Amino acid sequence: MRKSLADVIHTRLAPLVAAYVANPREVFDLQTTPDPTKGDFALNTAMKLAKAARCKPLDLAGRLAEALAQETGWFTRVEAVPPGFVNLYLREDAIERGLRRFAEDPQLGLQREGRCETVVIDYSSVNIAKQMHVGHLRSTIIGDVLARVLAARGDRVIRQNHLGDWGLPMAMVLWKVRPLLRDLERRGADPATELTLARLEELYREVTKACDTQPEVAAACHEVLVALQQGDPGLLADWRTITRLSMREVYRIYTELGVLLTPEDEAGESFYRDQLADTVAALKESGHLVESRGAWCVFLEHFKAKDGSPLPVIVQKSDGGYNYETFDLAAIRYRIHRLRADRIIYVTDARQALHFAQVFDVAQAAGWTKRDGQTVRLEHVPFGSVLGEDNKPLKTRSGENVKLADLLAEAVERAYAVVQEKNPALPEETKRQVARMVGIGAVKYADLSQNRNNDYVFSFPRMLALQGNTAPYLQYAHARICSIFRKGNRPAEECAGPPRLGHPAERALGLKLLELPTAVAAVAADLRPHTLCNYLYDLATQFTTFYDQCPVLTADDPAVRESRLFLCRLTRQVLARGLDLLGIAAPPEM
Ligand code: ARG
């Protein structure tokens, strides 16, 4: 039988459910039940549908259960339970079939149902001439996982690094740095070697101070901004120098982190410079633009200031200049109509929630979010702050922003100590490689495993612990399975079972393995990577139980040994695939 459990449920229930919803696929959510006396899976379709169906969830669950009970090749028992779940008890051979099918699928069941979408993911989006801070770390890490997950499901993912490269901060740096650049030129020195990002940031801080106290400096910077935006060739050349210099260091961090972003993904604010006037004109045409004190604004009904007065979205300032909102509006049009996005995802910290809510609303009011009769989904993916051990935003001891590069270097150094303790016999070179995978993996995982809306406390000891929901724990589970195959002198891919799930720990592990697609689908829907982390942690824990209770290489019965090796092979594959979706390396030994 080639069908999967999801197929079976779909074919049985779709006719029943289609009467209530347009896409029945979407309401078949299977969750493994933590308590085996309540079945292997619970189906929450009736809970989701009861309202639309205008009946009691339990009555609807009863009807679904009746339909599923006819699938005797799959279930030993099907029951509707209050308040409206359907508990499913699977036959052992049904799980075994599922595992064989799973093992044969190179995608491990990840390919999504239905039409694949074009998804734009706007993430990292660093600012030029400023060092990346921990907020950009979160955007970079979370956005990268979303890009990997959606691509693995078959969506066409377009990454967009919306660099902050065309606003006043850029003009301020330029004003300050131009005399330095000229001086370097006179001396025949290369700015790429003479000017670091740290130095640029220092200069930026100096100008910020100067602007506060000296109006003539502020005015000069403003002039630079206007000239830059009008395309002054000399300024543009310097602008390019600063941008490349700045991004060179950003790419160093991207490489260290192992994220997917490349120069091809750069489409900063400057990218939209020739589309801004058109964007404002299109807004005017849509009838939503109002002049207010010389500035062009859109007033949206449900956005009010604290005092109840209407809150404008300014798209062109009284001096003719454009702002953060205008860039984003231009970007929305470009992404919908040129990139043909079906879905646009923005990963920034929660403080930008109002900005995106407003911009999305303006785009919708202007009619830009409809294309070919479809509504393009615009989604803001907000996240909380990274805190220090003192529960305040992460700072160095001297109170400065923590530099990402330093943070990552320390993680790798501390990971080296962990590897050294766990496996001192490893060759030095391997130890160093593994320490990088573990250190970087730990930083990423500590971030991803939290519900992103929450703040979290950054703690090296906690993220590097070999016990608990950490990257090293998962990486170690992976390495341990690899060592089973090394010890048994068996290439993993030769271990083809067949699976036999006689022991409760084998059965539980088998079921857990089959849940990977559900966990990944949940991340694609809710854009919350911690769901996948929790799944992998459960899987690793389930594997530990299995490995404690079921001897593998020393099993007496060769058929049992083969089955267990097959379970080990699948667990290794799922752990590695899951970690890869999280952008974390899985070392074969540690
Ligand atoms: N550069 C901005 C910042 O650092 C983030 C940009 C986010 N993306 C966007 N399309 N607005 O705050």
Residue 568 C-alpha to ligand 1 middle, in angstroms? 43
CATH architecture type of domain 270-381: 3-Layer(aba) Sandwich (3.40)
Residue 224 C-alpha to ligand 1 middle, in angstroms? 22
- Residue of the nearest CA to atom 1 in ligand 1? 164
Q: Alpha-carbon distance 346 to 53, whole Å?
A: 35
What is the SS3 string spanning 337-391?
Answer: HHCCCCEEEEEEEHHHHHHHHHHHHHHHHCCCCEECCEECEEEEEEECCEECCCC
Q: Is 356 in the pocket of ligand 1 (CB under 6 A)?
A: no
Rounded alpha-carbon distances, angstroms, from residue 419 to 430, 432, 486? 10, 9, 19
Show pLDDT as tens, one digit a residue, over the chain (590 residues): 456 777 788 888 888 877 776 665 566 666 777 676 778 888 888 888 888 878 899 998 999 999 999 999 899 999 999 999 999 999 999 999 889 988 999 999 898 877 899 999 999 999 998 878 777 899 999 999 999 999 999 999 999 999 999 988 899 999 999 999 999 999 999 888 888 888 888 899 999 999 999 999 999 999 999 899 889 999 999 999 999 999 999 999 999 999 999 999 999 999 999 999 999 999 999 999 999 889 999 998 888 888 888 888 999 998 888 899 999 999 999 999 999 999 999 999 999 999 999 999 999 999 999 998 999 999 999 999 999 988 888 877 777 778 888 899 999 999 999 999 989 999 999 999 999 999 999 999 999 999 999 999 999 999 999 999 999 999 999 999 999 999 999 888 888 889 999 999 999 999 999 989 989 999 999 999 999 999 999 999 999 999 999 999 999 999 999 999 999 999 999 999 999 999 999 999 99
Q: Is 268 in the pocket of ligand 1 (CB under 6 A)?
A: no
- Residue of the nearest CA to atom 6 in ligand 1? 125
- Give the atom of ligand 1 at the shortest distance from the alpha carbon of 346: 8
CB-side exposure of 191: number of CA atoms within 13 Å?
24
| Kind plus residue range of the DSSP H or E element containing 42 | strand 41-43
Q: Domain 404-581 classified CATH 1.10.730.10? A: yes
Mutate-to-test residue for ligand 1 from 121, 124, 125, highest number of ligand atoms within 8 A of CB: 125
At residue 416's C-alpha, the angle toward residues 415 and 419, to 5°, is 90
Q: Is 167 in the pocket of ligand 1 (CB under 6 A)?
A: no
3-state secondary structure of 317: coil
- Residue of the nearest CA to atom 7 in ligand 1? 125
Q: Alpha-carbon distance 41 to 35, whole Å?
A: 10
Q: Where are the domains of the chain?
A: 5-90, 168-263, 270-381, 404-581
Q: Is 517 in the pocket of ligand 1 (CB under 6 A)?
A: no
Q: Is 325 in the pocket of ligand 1 (CB under 6 A)?
A: no
CATH architecture type of domain 5-90: 2-Layer Sandwich (3.30)
Residue 542 C-alpha to ligand 1 middle, in angstroms? 40
- Give the atom of ligand 1 at the shortest distance from the alpha carbon of 355: 11
Specify whether the CB–CB gap between 94 and 40 falls below 8 A: no
